[in-house]
Amino acid sequence: MESGLPLIRHPAQGFNASQQLIKSDRGSMLTMSDDNVMMKQIVGTHAPDGREVDVKPLLLLVEDILKRATQQIDTSLTTSQAHAELEDKTHQVNFVSMLDALSYTIDRISCEIAYKALGGTDAHATTVSLFNMLTSYSWDAKLVLTLSAFALNYGEFWLLAQIYSSNQLAKSMAILRQLPSIMEHSGPLKPRFDAINNLIKVMMDVARCVVEFKDLPPAYISNEVPALSTAMAHIPTAVYWTMRSVVACAAQITSLTTMGHEFSISTNVAWELSTLAHKLSNILDHLRKQLDTCYQYIDEKRNVESFQMLKNLFEMIHIDNMKVLKALIYAKDDIQPLIDGSSKKRVHLDVLRRKNVLLLISGLDMSNDELSILEQIYNESRHQGARLNSQYEVVWVPIVDRSVQWSDPMKGKFESMQSSMPWFTVYHPSLIEKAVIRFIKEVWHFRNKPILVVLDPQGKVVCPNALHMMWIWGSNAFPFTSLREESLWKDETWRLELLVDGIDPEILNWIKEGKYIFLYGGDDEEWVRKFTNTARAVAQAARIPLEMVYVGKSSKREKIRRVIATITVEKLSYVWQDLTMIWFFWTRLESMLYSKIQLGKLDDHDPMMQEIKKLLSYDREGGWAVLSNGSNVVVNGHKTTALQTLLEYDLWKEQVPVKGFDLAFRDHQGRIHDIARPCCRFDFPMTTGRIPETMKCPECNRTMEKFSTFLCCHDEVIPDELFK
């Protein structure tokens, strides 16, 4: 390299040459205002011959040299990662042959820079000469080859500086380079070395950025994309100023080895280098913005492609469920993407092969009520596994908004939920790709409210959301297919067990004993007091065995707590003290409605469905009461008609011996209802996946009016599916 050049010059001669370099460099930086003219000259030297040079391994080598030359230069890679990648690349046959082909060019550049610096040539002129030398190479190759030539000289300088005190050969060479003198005066030289190191860091950042543009996949982005076309138009400028910075840094090292430390006393080198660093930083910021935009564009294109591939995948027939599960959860085999809920160990997707898989899809806001009830049903089904036709597994798929930065509270919430689940869970939300999240939202209608998508052993979707039937029938709904859901509805009747099954065995005992039972709800304490006292008095007068149970309301949890406290203190009736039981009662009712919506049979002429819709509507309108005689539901009424019927007992008590209490009550309540006719109302949260376009009124069978409502009840956080 520089060994072909004289190492010792007359002090005055060296000083004048270096001064001329700095003077001309400063002048050209300040006076060349028309960058377009300058860049036209540079672009005019560019005549690539089509050869492809993979500069990435060469850039890694340069990065390693500059990093080891001085610890003040940062890299984008960790030491171990860079070293491993470097070892891998430099031992490849292709890389070795590439170096053989390029070493002559690198030597020429190195000698050209050193010769021009010693001769005091203008920095711009030196840079142009390099471009003329590299005319047939691509822009990224020009830049990396020039940096390689610089790394060769800079690395040699610092190698001698690091070992000359312990190696005699290095010591002799260092003396020729005036290194001992330079190192002895390293204190005054520190600003200059700091400025060089800072400039080198920016140079390497620009080089990495330029190479990244070259590596953008042409299958997903072309020059027609504005961000890429803008960047490509600016890359010649970025390459020019980086190569010019190389010339400036090399000039400083050359001046030191020819003039010694005295050179620094008479020049303001740090200002020159920091000016170049500032200019390069501005160029780098602009390129990085364009690069980020390009990556976003590519990401969107890939997401669209992946989304379509997912849709196509679910239209195909498979021999097992592995392709589908890999596409949804994690496609590679390099990690174990699942946590086994029973052992808390990581496992591969193979544990789900040819099994019925229930994908529990939710955000991190799934309520404790939902989790506890779901866990109860899951554990019961595990114990009943022998009677089930085949085994099924549940997998929690956490969906997190990628636009929200992952935080410690989110991490804590995720880990807490994951550790509490007895089934399989995805190891981390980041494994779920954007295209999968889009598919889950658009095709499976996920809207933050949990859903349970059922895949058969071949990976086919057999139910878009089995959560409704699981709430209603528990493990009896296995294998949780839509066909099974329809079959269960055909066997179902309007009876009290449908409302309370799996919640409270005490009520089931009352049913067996053939008692009259009032299920009632609402949040009006005065109405509750008046209703229960009147009902008890009527039951005594009619001499019937009557039990009453308060089941709360689907929302306003704090008000429900107060009502429960009043009922308990005044001993008004039986009451569910556990709010989870109340939550589950209303969740099951709402699931009955959603189940019918999902099956497309919401407005079928089904008397049972009409009663369920009435009950949900009455809850929204304030309060209600359901009277049953054992299992048989007699009346499902609004709070006003139910209480008025009891208050007017004297008007219909003569009918009790004739018709029986249940029918006499029903007939009188029916007459009051025909006069009162309360409004019917249904609220569907926007988080509900499938909201019906139209809905028939359960009272008059006319199409209901549709409104958009904003509502806040100032209550504590309650389950997502309950409309606040």
pLDDT in tens, 633-661: 998 888 888 999 999 999 999 998 999 99
Q: Mean pLDDT throughout 241-254?
A: 88
Buried b (16+ CB within 10 A) or exposed e, 624-659: bbbbbbbeebbbbbbbbbbbbbbeebeebeeebeee
- Other CB atoms within a 10 A radius of the CB of residue 688 amount to 19
> Which band of pLDDT confidence, cut at 50, 70 and 90, is reported for residue 325?
very high
Contact 304, 433 (CB under 8 A): no
Closest CA to 555 of 590, 530, 507, 503: 590
Q: Pick from 86-95, 113-122, 130-139 the range whose average pLDDT is largest.
A: 130-139
Q: Mean pLDDT throughout 613-621?
A: 82
Q: Mean pLDDT throughout 241-251?
A: 91
Q: What is the pLDDT of residue 260?
A: 53
* Alpha carbon distance 242, 208 (integer Å): 12
Locate 225 and state its tokens. Answer: 């994309």
Q: What is the pLDDT of residue 188?
A: 63
Residue 418 has pLDDT above 80, yes or no: yes
What does DSSP say about strands 546-550 and 516-522: parallel, antiparallel, or unpaired?
parallel
Phi, psi of 709 (to 5 degrees): -125, 140
Q: What is the pLDDT of residue 694?
A: 66
pTM of the predicted model as reported, rounded to 2 decimal places? 0.73
* Alpha carbon distance 384, 378 (integer Å): 10
Q: Report the mean per-residue pLDDT for the chain.
A: 81
Q: What is the pLDDT of residue 627?
A: 94
> Which band of pLDDT confidence, cut at 50, 70 and 90, is reported for residue 74?
very low
User: Who's near 381: CB < 8 A, 6+ residues apart?
Assistant: 388, 392, 474, 475, 478
Q: Mean pLDDT throughout 654-682?
A: 78
Q: Where is pLDDT greater, at 17 or 269?
A: 269
Contact 27, 272 (CB under 8 A): no
* Alpha carbon distance 113, 159 (integer Å): 20
Q: What is the pLDDT of residue 685?
A: 58
Q: What is the pLDDT of residue 36?
A: 77
Q: How many residues does the chain have?
A: 724
Residue 233 has pLDDT above 70, yes or no: yes
Residue 163 has pLDDT above 70, yes or no: no
Q: What is the pLDDT of residue 203?
A: 93
Q: Mean pLDDT throughout 118-137?
A: 86
Q: Mean pLDDT throughout 105-129?
A: 84
> Percent of the chain, pLDDT > 70?
77
> Which band of pLDDT confidence, cut at 50, 70 and 90, is reported for residue 14?
very low
Q: What is the pLDDT of residue 411?
A: 93
Residue 114 has pLDDT above 60, yes or no: yes
> Percent of the chain, pLDDT > 90?
43
